[in-house]
Structure 1
Amino acid sequence: MANKWWPFCVPLLWCCLCSFKFNPATCLQNETDRLALISFKQAILQDAFQVFNSWNDSVHFCNWSGVSCGRRHPDRVVALNLNSQGLVGTLSPHIGNLSFLRLMDLQNNSFHGQIPQEIGRLSRLQHLVLSNNSFQGNIPTNLSHCSNLMYLDLIDNKLVGNIPAELDSLQKLGALELGRNKLTGSIPPSIGNLSSLWAIILGVSDLQGQIPEEISRLGNLEYLMLTDNNLVGEVPPGLFNISSISKISVDHNQLHGRLPSDTTLPNLKALGFSFNRFTGPIPNSWSNASALYLISIESNRFSGLVPRGFGMLQHLLYLILHQNQLQDDLSFINSLTNCTSLKGLILSSNFLEGTVPNSIANLSKSVQYISLSENQLHNAIPLGIVNLPNLRRFECNHNYLTGPLLVDFEKLRHLEYLDLENNKFTGIIPSSIRNLSFLSHILMGFNNFSGSIPASLGTCHNLIELDLSHNSLSGSIPREVISLTSLSILLNLSGNELTGPIPSEIGFLQNLAQLDLSDNRLSGMIPSTIGKCLSLEQLRLEGNSFDGEIPQVLSALQGLQELDISRNNFSGGIPDSLTQLHGLSYLNLSFNKLHGMVPNRGIFLNASAVSLMGNNDLCGGITEMKLPSCLITNSKKINLFHGLKMTIPVVVAAILSALFVCSLIFWHRKRISRKKNISMPLFEHQFLRISYAELFKATDGFSIANIIGVGSYGSVYKGLFEQLGMEVAVKVLNLQRRGASNSFMSECQALRTIRHRNLLKLLSVCSSIDFEGNYFKALIYEFMVNGSLEKWLHAGSVEEDAQEGESRNLKVIERLNIAIDIATAIEYLHNGSSSTIIHGDLKPSNVLLDEEMTAHIGDFGLAKIVASVSGEIQQYQSSSTAIKGSIGYVAPEYGLGDPVSKEGDMYSYAILLLEMFTGKKPIDESFKDDLNLHTYVERNLPDRVMEIVDPRIAFEDGGGSFEDCILSIMRIGVACSMEQPGKRMKMGDVISELVKIKGFYLKERLK
């Protein structure tokens, strides 16, 4: 009987307790808070620290972990503080029933799902902290109903959409922190109505538009953090008159303009304007901000002098002026000796000149990082640099520093990074670089150091990168150096005069990624211990005197991506073990003494990835390698004899039948083509036999609607062979045009024997009579779905793009891939077949893209086949005195009557490359007088490279790494389009450099 009435007794008992201990009017409200907390708990999926163990009926909910109740209302929840508790789950909408809640802090957990709209019912809420979770969806607009909200922190979630303009009703709001989300749209100008705001943190999102001028009305603003967005325009000048501002950071945007010179910011502590487009001088008035500890304005276009007043900033920790256009000497360093807290001085990539002053030794003892790289400094490094005992990173690379290196580096006990490459240092590498237990990087390449490599470098047991390349070092490789197990990034000793064998201790480099010993005088065999270097990704040994066979042990290097052992004396066959290196993308075995059969597996299936030139006794391999067939061994001959004995009768019968059929075909064709006996070049491979009638049908009667291109000698039609289910491109020659027939024969001759993945495949030719009795010539190619590169680089209007069904914009990585494809094809034409083929008309309209955006070079109408005969170049086809090619792409020497050459193709390629990354045609209307695409780019390098890059890719990716890649590409284009042919880069070098740029770019994007 008791059990029957128990369900009715519980509520009654609860009400009795309420009436005894609490105000009866709040009894129901008290239960509401408890039930809301239970719903909150039920939405939690994981409780790593068992925080909810106390959330049970044996303890009053006001005593539950993380829950606080009020003093005036002891039965009402006023705070829910569960930050950093390892909670996983969603936020229950019942949280909106905690109507007395003033603080909710759930930061540093793993909440997901949307922020419930019901939070808008918490009218007493003052602090809402949900940062570092995974909340999704939009910011609830009805947060604007939380009229007492003073602190809103939603940083580091996955929120999307716009910043709600409705938040302007939160008149008590002091901190608006929404950064590290995926917010879009612009910063609402209504934010200027929040007069209580002291902090705006909106960094690392996708916000666009301008910084609203209305923010200048916020007289209490202390922190403005807008880093890593897509903001444009100028910084509102009124911001620099808000005396309360302590920190301003607008790094990594697209802001521009000059900064006010008369700023009044007495409380300013940190300035971050890096990676934008600001111009003009650095404001001297910043020197009046006595509390300033950080000035970071790198990667802009500031010019003029460095303010000497910076020496008055007693609290200055970091002065970062990297990559601007400052034109000054280093005398301002004298004033910086007063900055007793200075830790970092970054002055690299400017136009600073003169000598490094001795006063650098008087900088703060706290200095850890000095960078003077990429300026125009000369003379020696002051010996007093050793007076900076805490110096960890010292960079002076890419200057004109000279003389012997006399600095006693042993006194810089904390040195970690030393970069002196690309200078003119002479003498020996100082042995004082020893026992530096923190030293991790030594970069001293491209100088004039001589003598031997100090064995004492082997005592730097934390060294992960050592580059001594391109000096005049001699002697053998010290065993102490090549056995440094710490080396993991790079060991580069290339371009020296080192002799002797590779020490067997090379096997200790088990963590090394790149080893470059190329272009020395090393000899002997590759030690078998190299098989222990399991982390190697790049191995370069070319340009030495290594001999013996290629070791089988290389198959153990499964991470190897590039292997170059060309220009040595290796003999024997190509080991089949190289086919087991599945990650290998580049293999150069050229100019050795290799012989025998080339494998037809692994990397050897990709002719463009393998170079075998200069090994005259190699045979076999895939067809694209154009190697002679291998001789059959005696045992194989015996088996072949027995096979022939059985098959000869069958073959004879088949031949007789074929001859009979061929005689019938010959008689039929002779009857059709009585008007003219047409001579055609012989093709190595079997082509489709296509008649004029079939082409007529496939192109719908050569309908204008099917024209996909018009060239100098004819039109190109899209065709469909229904029976074969094949789409083709049909180039019909206009035989009335002078030179069309020669163009037809040139193309046939050029494509007769070559095959390459980046050359447009010729399927067939048709030389016949049309239905009206006129001569007809056409070439039939594979159809390229994505059309010509021309259409992608110079797309039409927005309406035209819409008709195409997609935007015709190429990303940076796509342009790089296409540039590599084209270069690879040209290298094959020049050096990859028995005869050298000069394309003669390289331009974007002659580069076609398949469905995977792989580039294929076509239109060989102006191609010339040349060959080396007794050291002279012989042309198989005579060229007329008229300049042939396309205006803007034709090499200048052709205008002087010089014969076609590889260098001429290099010039055309260079112009095409510059066009791909500037978006400008070589005949652009803005090019007048002596200005052309080459000089246009050359005059803007390196400082204004981002001003000339194609606007469609200019802001595809932020940061210096993106700009470095673009700069490197532009420099290649300039180097390949030099007026004097002999000064142009070689195509092999171009490919190597572009591949490196691509690898660097992809690696940076993954960071």
Structure 2
Amino acid sequence: MGLVGTISPHIGNLTFLRVLHLSRNMLHGEIPREIGGLFRLRYLSLSANALMGDLAKLNLSSCVHLRDLFFARNGLQGNLPTAFRFLPNSKKLQALSLDDNRLTGGIPPTIGNLSSLQKLGLEKNHLKGRIPHEITRCWDLNLLSLAINNFTGTLSPSFFNMSSLQTISVSENSLEGTIPSYIGDTLPNLEIFYFGGNKFHGTIPISFPNASKLQILEVPQNHLVGKVPPSLVSLKSITHLDISNNKLTGEIPRDLQKLPLLQYLNLSFNDLVGEVPTVGVFAVATNVSLLGNKKLCGGIAELKLPPCPVKKAKHTNHLKLMIVIFTCICPALVFASFIAFLTLCWRKEKSLESAKPSKVEQLSKIPYTDLHQATDGFSETNLIGSGSFGSVYKGRFEQGGGEQTIAVKVLDLLKNGASKSFLAECKVLRNIRHRNLVPILTCCSSCDFAGNEFKALVYEFMENGDLDMWLHAHSSNARTTVLSVLQRLNIAIDVASVLHYLHDDCEPTVIHCDLKPSNILLDKDLTAHVGDFGISRLYSHTIGDPIGEQTSTIGLKGSIGYIPPEYGIGAKASTFGDVYSFGILLLEMFTAKRPTDDLFNGECSSLCEYVELALPEEVIEIIDPLLSACLESNHGLIPDVELGNNGNLVEIEESKVHNFFRSIFKIGLTCASRSPMDRMHMNEVSRELQKIKKTFFA
């Protein structure tokens, strides 16, 4: 909606109100107590605003018909046991969301009184203590989200008997204990299971496949041991599987490659051995992460693992010969004893081998020495870029006896906001997955050889650099590499896709805040990957909350030229700000004009105005000069220019060229409208760009 201001106490006069939906606005101040007088209210949503105050001061005891209550993503405070008194004296409440606030204390046992509750969201607060077993009295609970708090202790066995549960998220706490072996039998409706970042030990339950609806299984950064259960291959609905950063041993079950829907598999930083499969999810290097398992071999070439050794048959032949001899000359009992002896010796040898500790056990504890060695001491020859908070180096990291090229972003901790940028980027990237995000491999928070604090992030290396270097000359020489029109459109679609994911499919919503060509990296196939989340925000964080403090000192939320006008007058970061930046980016991609170009200091004041003046008839006059020259040449190629795909630069029928650029520029201008309310949503942008591709390149 875009409402700004406070909620008027006069709202209490609307006594017949049944639905009050004011989410995703810019409302601030306290929630008026008068809302408690709306006794007919059934649905109340104030999420994603900037509301503050003590929740305990609000009294909804008269709202006996209330079924859905959403207060997530605000700045509400208070001790949760005390605050729970604000809830209505009713057993009709089905959904309660207090995620992403500043609540303290523990979950009170009175949670069990909400017997009709189906959805409970308390993640990303400052809650602590044990998760009470009384929560299991909520028999109809299907969504339980308690992640990113400070909960401790073990989970009650009855917790794993709540058969209605579909989504469980308790990641990033300090929970202990084992995951029960029977979990798949008692949670048949389970679809999403987030247990990462805790202290769970023991083995991965072999009964997980009995939860036939399971789609996402993530238990990284725990202390799990043993082998990857072969029974996981029965998870026919699984799309994401992350069991990284544990102490798992043994081989990768080969049948994991047969899982039909598996899109992402992370087995990094365990102590796995043996041959890596090559089909299914293993056939695409970006869909699987195996870093830190130095005894793996084989796999597709892109994984850069060493070849598996050829098995020698010499000892096997000797063993077969001995078996034949003993079979012929010894009684069956002697033969059986001999085989048992050989088996015992073999198992003992294997157990000793598997007992060797993993060299890299925790994602966040990769040593400084490894990064120093990988980058040749952070030498200038490996320096590939620098930004607001540090420098990026190219390096080589050992993996399974082979090498993987990496990019190491070293934070300059003397710069104001650098440490906060590091924390912000870690918190944003640890729970999001998308093919068009720059994959983060690990991080380092340690000390250098001089004892100084050292922080770095490690990413997959992108062979084709950033989009900025493809669009603009960075020296006196002209550009010698040029992206074709179709390649630019594909990059725009990639970026729109990831922003649509961040804005609409992430919970909480992620706002990038610094979208620009230098933060868009291109892999060897020129697929775009959005990176640099150092000043990103989780939607509607208010001044004073943990991540808000990390980014509020950085200043304006973005880079000059890409910052939406409302940020300049103090507006809070929003998804509309990212849309504005995307609009500027889209115009820049097809004009090769930066928004800060000197051209815009004269009669034409901005890139948007420059494009507007050319519409609708003169669009060819403003496109990238190399594309324009290509059109005028009538043969599609320009001497001394290397194309990204060795093909035509424009690739559109001549009669359709004007319509194509008009369509692109209209989307860019709409996204970059001065008023946030006039801008498109990223899901619509993504859809329109796909339509353009289908229309002009079918």
Of residues 473, 476, 495, the one that matches 2:172 is 495
Question: Structure 1 pair 523/825, CA: closer, same or farther in 2 (3 Å)?
Answer: closer
Are positions 1:504 and 2:181 aligned together? yes
**Per-residue deviation, residues 311-352 of structure 1 (Å, max 9, x unmatched):** xxxxxxxxxxxxx23212x3x23x233323111222222332
Of residues 13, 31, 44, the one that matches 1:370 is 44
Tell me the equivalent position of 1:340: 15
Tell me the equivalent position of 1:349: 24
Tell me the equivalent position of 1:390: 65
**Matched residue SS, 2:103:** strand
Identity of aligned residues (%): 29
Amino acid corresponding to residue 339 of structure 1 in structure 2: L
For residue 612 of structure 1, report the CA deviation from its aligned partner. 0.3
**Per-residue deviation, residues 21-53 of structure 1 (Å, max 9, x unmatched):** xxxxxxxxxxxxxxxxxxxxxxxxxxxxxxxxx
Distance in 1 (alpha carbons) for counterparts of 2:441 and 2:221: 24
- Preserved CA contact (<8 Å) 1:483 1:505: no
**Matched residue SS, 1:604:** helix
Are positions 1:952 and 2:667 aligned together? yes
- Preserved CA contact (<8 Å) 2:62 2:88: no
Tell me the equivalent position of 2:5: 327
For residue 966 of structure 1, report the CA deviation from its aligned partner. 6.3
**How do 1:34-73 residues align onto structure 2 when only pairs under 5 Å count?**
none
**Matched residue SS, 1:411:** coil
**Matched residue SS, 1:630:** coil
**Matched residue SS, 1:397:** coil
For residue 637 of structure 1, report the CA deviation from its aligned partner. 8.9
Tell me the equivalent position of 1:401: 76
- Preserved CA contact (<8 Å) 1:558 1:582: yes
Distance in 2 (alpha carbons) for counterparts of 1:478 and 1:557: 26
Question: Structure 1 pair 619/936, CA: closer, same or farther in 2 (3 Å)?
Answer: farther
For residue 832 of structure 1, report the CA deviation from its aligned partner. 5.2
Distance in 2 (alpha carbons) for counterparts of 1:589 and 1:853: 34
- Preserved CA contact (<8 Å) 2:266 2:288: yes
Tell me the equivalent position of 1:615: 293
- Preserved CA contact (<8 Å) 1:513 1:535: yes
**Matched residue SS, 2:158:** helix
Tell me the equivalent position of 2:560: 931
Question: Structure 1 pair 944/600, CA: closer, same or farther in 2 (3 Å)?
Answer: closer
Unaligned stretches of 5+ in structure 1? 1-298, 300-323, 640-748, 757-818, 857-887, 892-905, 915-928, 970-997, 999-1007
- Preserved CA contact (<8 Å) 1:474 1:497: yes
Tell me the equivalent position of 1:839: 465
For residue 353 of structure 1, report the CA deviation from its aligned partner. 2.2
**Matched residue SS, 2:60:** helix
Of residues 559, 563, 574, the one that matches 1:942 is 574
Question: Structure 1 pair 965/498, CA: closer, same or farther in 2 (3 Å)?
Answer: farther
Distance in 1 (alpha carbons) for counterparts of 2:183 and 2:208: 6
Amino acid corresponding to residue 41 of structure 2 in structure 1: V
Distance in 1 (alpha carbons) for counterparts of 2:229 and 2:575: 47
Tell me the equivalent position of 1:597: 275
Of residues 515, 531, 536, the one that matches 2:214 is 536
Question: Structure 1 pair 385/843, CA: closer, same or farther in 2 (3 Å)?
Answer: farther
Amino acid corresponding to residue 942 of structure 1 in structure 2: S
Distance in 1 (alpha carbons) for counterparts of 2:289 and 2:559: 40
Question: Structure 1 pair 394/548, CA: closer, same or farther in 2 (3 Å)?
Answer: same
Question: Structure 1 pair 561/944, CA: closer, same or farther in 2 (3 Å)?
Answer: closer
Distance in 1 (alpha carbons) for counterparts of 2:460 and 2:5: 48
Distance in 1 (alpha carbons) for counterparts of 2:5 and 2:311: 73
Of residues 360, 370, 374, the one that matches 2:35 is 360
For residue 531 of structure 1, report the CA deviation from its aligned partner. 1.6
Amino acid corresponding to residue 32 of structure 2 in structure 1: P
**Per-residue deviation, residues 107-148 of structure 1 (Å, max 9, x unmatched):** xxxxxxxxxxxxxxxxxxxxxxxxxxxxxxxxxxxxxxxxxx
TM-score, length-scaled by structure 1:
0.36
TM-score, length-scaled by structure 2:
0.51
Amino acid corresponding to residue 95 of structure 2 in structure 1: Y
**Matched residue SS, 2:73:** coil
Distance in 1 (alpha carbons) for counterparts of 2:11 and 2:517: 52
Amino acid corresponding to residue 931 of structure 1 in structure 2: I
**How do 1:644-663 residues align onto structure 2 when only pairs under 5 Å count?**
none
**Per-residue deviation, residues 30-79 of structure 1 (Å, max 9, x unmatched):** xxxxxxxxxxxxxxxxxxxxxxxxxxxxxxxxxxxxxxxxxxxxxxxxxx
Distance in 2 (alpha carbons) for counterparts of 1:375 and 1:400: 8
Distance in 2 (alpha carbons) for counterparts of 1:342 and 1:578: 53
Question: Structure 1 pair 375/755, CA: closer, same or farther in 2 (3 Å)?
Answer: closer
- Preserved CA contact (<8 Å) 1:410 1:432: no
For residue 948 of structure 1, report the CA deviation from its aligned partner. 6.1
Amino acid corresponding to residue 932 of structure 1 in structure 2: G
- Preserved CA contact (<8 Å) 1:549 1:570: yes
For residue 964 of structure 1, report the CA deviation from its aligned partner. 6.5
Tell me the equivalent position of 2:121: 443
Distance in 2 (alpha carbons) for counterparts of 1:398 and 1:949: 24
- Preserved CA contact (<8 Å) 2:276 2:297: yes
Tell me the equivalent position of 2:323: none
- Preserved CA contact (<8 Å) 1:624 1:755: no
Distance in 1 (alpha carbons) for counterparts of 2:206 and 2:441: 37
- Preserved CA contact (<8 Å) 1:362 1:387: yes
**Per-residue deviation, residues 501-546 of structure 1 (Å, max 9, x unmatched):** 1123422222222110111111110111212111111111111111
**Per-residue deviation, residues 755-796 of structure 1 (Å, max 9, x unmatched):** 99xxxxxxxxxxxxxxxxxxxxxxxxxxxxxxxxxxxxxxxx
**Matched residue SS, 2:110:** coil
- Preserved CA contact (<8 Å) 1:455 1:478: yes
Question: Structure 1 pair 574/844, CA: closer, same or farther in 2 (3 Å)?
Answer: same
Distance in 1 (alpha carbons) for counterparts of 2:315 and 2:566: 62
For residue 935 of structure 1, report the CA deviation from its aligned partner. 6.6
- Preserved CA contact (<8 Å) 2:244 2:269: yes
| Cα RMSD after superposing both structures | 4.4
Distance in 2 (alpha carbons) for counterparts of 1:585 and 1:820: 10
Of residues 97, 100, 107, the one that matches 1:419 is 97
Of residues 156, 162, 168, the one that matches 1:484 is 162
Tell me the equivalent position of 2:242: 564
Tell me the equivalent position of 1:518: 196
Amino acid corresponding to residue 380 of structure 1 in structure 2: D
Are positions 1:581 and 2:222 aligned together? no
Question: Structure 1 pair 459/964, CA: closer, same or farther in 2 (3 Å)?
Answer: farther
Distance in 1 (alpha carbons) for counterparts of 2:316 and 2:440: 42
Distance in 2 (alpha carbons) for counterparts of 1:607 and 1:557: 21
**How do 1:161-310 residues align onto structure 2 when only pairs under 5 Å count?**
299=1
Are positions 1:431 and 2:60 aligned together? no
- Preserved CA contact (<8 Å) 1:442 1:466: yes
Question: Structure 1 pair 844/433, CA: closer, same or farther in 2 (3 Å)?
Answer: farther
**Per-residue deviation, residues 275-298 of structure 1 (Å, max 9, x unmatched):** xxxxxxxxxxxxxxxxxxxxxxxx
**Number of residue-to-residue matches in the alignment:** 405
Distance in 2 (alpha carbons) for counterparts of 1:514 and 1:908: 26
Distance in 2 (alpha carbons) for counterparts of 1:532 and 1:463: 20
Distance in 1 (alpha carbons) for counterparts of 2:531 and 2:148: 29
Distance in 2 (alpha carbons) for counterparts of 1:371 and 1:573: 49
For residue 577 of structure 1, report the CA deviation from its aligned partner. 2.4
Unaligned stretches of 5+ in structure 2? 318-394, 397-401, 406-433, 443-456, 472-481, 493-515, 520-527, 537-557, 584-665, 672-676, 690-698
For residue 484 of structure 1, report the CA deviation from its aligned partner. 1.4
Question: Structure 1 pair 930/500, CA: closer, same or farther in 2 (3 Å)?
Answer: closer
For residue 476 of structure 1, report the CA deviation from its aligned partner. 1.3
- Preserved CA contact (<8 Å) 1:458 1:484: yes
Question: Structure 1 pair 854/632, CA: closer, same or farther in 2 (3 Å)?
Answer: farther
Tell me the equivalent position of 1:317: none
**Per-residue deviation, residues 963-999 of structure 1 (Å, max 9, x unmatched):** 6756999xxxxxxxxxxxxxxxxxxxxxxxxxxxx9x
**How do 1:803-822 residues align onto structure 2 when only pairs under 5 Å count?**
820-821=435-436
- Preserved CA contact (<8 Å) 2:564 2:580: no
For residue 932 of structure 1, report the CA deviation from its aligned partner. 2.3
Question: Structure 1 pair 345/853, CA: closer, same or farther in 2 (3 Å)?
Answer: closer
